[in-house]
Amino acid sequence: MRIPVRMIGITTTFFWIFLIAFFISAVYSVKDLRLAFGEPQISATADNKVVFSLPIAIENNGFYNIGFFTLTTEISDETGFIITRGSTSIPVIHKADVVTITHNMTINVTDLLRSDQNFLMNDTELRIYEAVSMRVAEVIPVQASTNLSVPWGAPLYNFNLGEAEYTMYNNTHFRVVVPVSFENHALFDLTGNIQIRIYNSTDTLLSDGQTMVEVRQNSPYNGGVELYVPIEGWTESGRFEVYFQTPFFDYGPLVIRYG
């Protein structure tokens, strides 16, 4: 049985009319999709991790289901170096549904400090890039993106080694006390170890010492590290190397010259 050419033409026309109408209605349906982003937060967890959290509510008042909804986040420093990247996906959001999720990502503070020492001692910001992708009616791709920022409080804000105090310990060694001061502006209490090594002008390690610190959020610290330095080998100039070991990060050496 042969189908008339005219009938094929009519069928094709109706197909294209349906396809165009579907496309228009699907795209129009996007305007009835409500995305409500909550306030982004950076917090510390009980197991000593730093987590970025972004709550989002999705209300699908459109004509069709939303498929493959994905929220992707990139966190970077001021130079554009990407510290971490992650995504959260929802397979299907049915029409008339309201879905609330919290998009969580773990920030490796050690990697953050290695990328930029500024985060260790200066209050600054993290740059956040958010991208949303989805398929309207589970077919038509739609994408959108935005940029925002969140404040970062430095754990060792205004870190400083004061003027070292030298006294004779015995016939072969000095006793050296190096004052240490800073303020903890981080979102976590700072506990850990500060180690200081002292080198002379010929790069010879003369001594090292350490101290434990416990500093609550938004609190100052004033303390000191004792070192016992041999008289032989001592020079008027050299350097201190400072190392930090905490549950949240390890960092060092921070080099500070003297003399």
3-state secondary structure 24-43: HHHHHHHHHEEEEECCCEEE
E-strand ranges in the chain read: 33-37, 41-44, 50-60, 66-76, 82-93, 98-107, 124-136, 140-152, 157-161, 165-168, 173-184, 190-200, 205-215, 219-230, 238-245, 250-258
120: containing domain: 5-152
For residue 55, the domain's CATH number is 2.60.40.10
One domain for residues 235 and 187: yes
Number of domains making up the chain? 2
One domain for residues 135 and 205: no
One domain for residues 39 and 79: yes
One domain for residues 144 and 168: no
Domain termination residue (choose one: 152, 174, 201): 152
pLDDT confidence of residue 26: 52
More confident residue, 76 or 142: 76
Model's pTM, two decimal places? 0.76
One domain for residues 14 and 113: yes
One domain for residues 78 and 41: yes
pLDDT confidence of residue 27: 55
pLDDT in tens, 172-209: 999 999 999 999 999 899 999 999 999 999 999 999 99
pLDDT in tens, 204-238: 999 999 999 999 999 999 999 999 999 998 999 99
Name the one residue in this structure whose structure tokens are 């190392």.
Answer: 243
